Amino acid sequence: MDHKSFLQILHLAERLKNNTRHSWTSTGRHESVAEHSWRLCLMAMLVRDEFPQADMDKVLQMCVLHDLGEAFTGDVPAFEKTAAHEQAEADQLRRWLGSLPAPYAQDWTALFDEMDALQTVEAKIYKALDNMEAVVQHNEAELSSWLPLEYDLQLRYGADKVTFSPWMQQLKDAVNAETREKVAREQPH
């Protein structure tokens, strides 16, 4: 890859450090998209032994790249994201992917196609962890940062993404237990 292309990719990715998510950190500031992606990668590294049949290097690539479209659109919370939002993000990302030098344009496009299809074990692992990271982060934030709709959403979010794996289902159960404990402990009576 030539140096100009290399730097252009880095400059685009830098936007993810600045684009914030709906999530708050435990210290009371908005989380960046890049911070979410970083911890998602850590999660993928930690589940390597749970999925020996999976290509975990591919899962890590998915985790690193999954929110690159938000460099163009910013983050839209899951409970507000419409099909139009998803299409706009996908269109901008696909145009950008097409502008990358070979073999990145082809390889990354194929990776995003696999992620969108959610048919491979690698895509299922990445997506389940992506949803679980958001819920874990939400549990770490002050309860005062939660919107009323999030009390129920917190327990439901990602449940449909973990059904492929007993281990992932148990993770969701453990995260839900933390949610219930947090609400019971912190909710004003």
Those residues whose C-beta lies under 8 Å from the C-beta of residue 159, and which sit 6 or more positions away, are 172
Neighbour tally for 17: CB within 10 Å: 13
Contact 30, 21 (CB under 8 A): yes
Contact 68, 92 (CB under 8 A): no
Give the pLDDT of the chain (189 residues) as one tens digit per residue.
Answer: 899 999 999 999 999 999 999 999 999 999 999 999 999 999 999 999 999 999 999 999 999 999 999 999 989 888 888 999 999 999 999 999 999 999 999 999 999 999 999 999 999 999 999 999 999 999 999 999 999 999 999 999 999 999 999 999 999 999 999 999 999 998 876
Domain of 19: which CATH number? Answer: 1.10.3210.10
Phi, psi of 98 (to 5 degrees): -65, -20
Provide the b/e sequence for 115-128 (b: ≥16 CB within 10 Å). beeeebebbbbbbb
- Measure the CA–CA gap between 92 and 70, rounded to whole angstroms: 9
Number of domains observed in the structure of the chain: 1
Query: Quick one: which of 81, 103, 83, 101 has its CA closest to 91?
Result: 83
Neighbour tally for 34: CB within 10 Å: 19
Domain range for 56? 3-186
